[in-house]
Amino acid sequence: MKTEAMLIQVLENVIGVRNLNRDTRFLDIGGNSLNLVEVLKQLKEKVGVAPPPRLFFDKSQSTIAALSAAIDTLREDSRMAASAAD
């Protein structure tokens, strides 16, 4: 599943808001520290990584597009670290 679509699904499930797009910001849809805990938990379960919580509260980095890019970078870094360890 494409990262943006997966993140949208998680946010819709946790926060209960529909019709999100890549420019939607976490705080603009009612995101807060309490529901962020569940968002991070679900991301970790689905893709094995979760971006730092501070990104969800950073105005320039909290869009679905930016958060998805951070997730993709973390996944790639994790894969590279695992390869280097072998």
Residue whose entry in the numeric block shows the structure tokens 């520290």: 33
What's the rounded Cα separation, in Å, for the pair 71 and 76?
Answer: 9
Total domain count, the chain = 1
Contact 48, 78 (CB under 8 A): yes
Q: What is the mean pLDDT of each run of 10 residues along the chain (86 residues)?
A: 93 97 96 97 95 94 96 92 79
Entry pTM:
0.91
What's the rounded Cα separation, in Å, for the pair 61 and 45?
Answer: 22
Range of the domain at 9: 3-85
| pLDDT reported for residue 28 | 96
User: Where residue 25 sits, what CATH number does that domain have?
Assistant: 1.10.1200.10
| pLDDT reported for residue 84 | 83
| pLDDT reported for residue 29 | 96
Alpha-carbon distance values, 38 to 15, 21, 29, 76, 82 (Å): 10, 20, 15, 23, 26
